[in-house]
Structure 1
Amino acid sequence: MSAQSIRLNTVSSNIANAEAASSSEGDTYRARKPIFSAMAHEQMRLQGSLGIDSSGSSPYLSGFDSQAEQAASQGVGVKGIVESQAPLQPRYEPNHPSADENGYVFYPNVNVVEEMADMISASRSFQMNVEVMNTAKTMIQQVLTLGQ
Structure 2
Amino acid sequence: MDQLKSSFYIAGSGMRAQGTRLRVISENIANKDSTAETAGGDPYRRKVVTFKNVLDREIGAELVRPTKISEDLSSFTLQYDPGHPAADETGYYKRPNVKGLVEMMDMREAQRSYEANLNVIQSTKSMVDRTIDLLK
TM class, shorter-length: 0.7 to 0.9
RMSD (Å) for aligned C-alpha atoms? 1.5
Query: Quick one: which of 49, 52, 55 aligns to 1:40?
Result: 55
2:71 corresponds to: 83
Query: Quick one: which of 44, 53, 57 aligns to 1:29?
Result: 44
1:11 aligns with 2:25: yes
**Partners of 1:92 and 1:21 in 2: CA distance:** 13
Report the structure, 1 or 2, having the larger strand content: 2
SS of 1:10's partner is: helix
Query: Quick one: which of 79, 83, 89 aligns to 1:101?
Result: 89
**Partners of 1:38 and 1:113 in 2: CA distance:** 28
Query: Quick one: which of 95, 106, 111 aligns to 1:118?
Result: 106
Query: Quick one: which of 112, 117, 124 aligns to 1:136?
Result: 124
Query: Which deviations, in whole Å up to 9, do the C-alpha atoms of 1:72-91 show, x marking residues without a partner?
Result: x3221100000011111121
Which consecutive unaligned segments of at least 5 residues does structure 2 have?
1-14
**Partners of 2:83 and 2:128 in 1: CA distance:** 65
How many pairs are equivalent? 120
Which consecutive unaligned segments of at least 5 residues does structure 1 have?
46-51, 57-72
Contact 1:94 / 1:102 at 8 angstroms: preserved in 2?
Answer: yes
Q: CA deviation at 1:99?
A: 2.2
| TM-score, scaled relative to structure 1 | 0.75
| TM-score, scaled relative to structure 2 | 0.81
The one-letter code matched in structure 1 to 2:56 is H
